[in-house]
Amino acid sequence: PPYCVGETGFAGGPKRREIGHGKLAKRGLMAVMPNEEEFPYVIRVVSEITESNGSSSMASVCGSSLSMMDAGVPLKAPVAGIAMGLIKEGDGFAVLSDILGDEDHLGDMDFKVAGTSEGITALQMDIKIEGITEEIMQKALSQAKGGREYILGEMNKVLGAGREEMSDYAPKLLTLTVHPDKIREVIGKGGATIRALTEETN
């Protein structure tokens, strides 16, 4: 909503920026999601940013990772994200970690890095200068790794591992494989068994 960045306006549907941020956050998390056989549920994550003076998409990655772990989604590993900045003048440069809004606005680069302790799951770079050197890229990725590991450590203090079981209030799904010879018994005469199951459980 507009008030999260100190502006006024109507809180309507998501705009191009919000959609782009959502896609980046989703890409950062998809690498650790369980497969359908392991977790056959639809997963919907809503990240409502109510205050923003930094990277809301990377905050969404961290918050979404924690919320899914708390909900009992068996993620392969927790994911954190950090936004890196750059101030470059002549041959000198400084890489900034976890940039604020002003550093993003006045700096030369906004480089978002999401990943686990094992590696990177998503990258996005907005750049205002002609290009960057290999040295700057190495420095930014190295610094982002340190920042990511620090954030993962802080997340680990709150929730060290995903919940073993889902909430009692969450919908449950049980899959049974019926032998083809027994399907008639499951359906029942004229579908009576199926109808009874539907009435009792729905």
Integer angstrom CA distances of residue 67 from 84, 117, 148, 161: 24, 18, 18, 11
Q: What is the rounded average pLDDT of the residues 140-146?
A: 96
Question: Quick check: 82 and 46 in contact, CB under 8 A?
Answer: no
State how far the Cα of 81 lies from the Cα of 59, in Å rounded to an integer.
7
If pLDDT is split at 50, 70 and 90, which confidence band does 17 have?
confident
If pLDDT is split at 50, 70 and 90, which confidence band does 1 have?
low
Instruction: Please determine, for residue 102, whether its predicted confidence score (pLDDT) is greater than 90.
Output: no
Instruction: Please determine, for residue 74, whether its predicted confidence score (pLDDT) is greater than 80.
Output: yes
Q: What is the pLDDT of residue 91?
A: 86
Instruction: Please determine, for residue 188, whether its predicted confidence score (pLDDT) is greater than 80.
Output: yes
Q: What is the rounded average pLDDT of the residues 119-143?
A: 93
> pLDDT tens, 90-99?
889 999 999 8
Domains and CATH numbers, the chain: 2-158 (3.30.230.70), 172-202 (no CATH)
Q: Where are the alpha helices (DSSP H) in 1-124?
A: 16-30, 56-71, 101-106
Angle at 191 between CA 190 and CA 195, to 5 degrees: 135
- CA–chain centroid gap for 152, Å, is 13
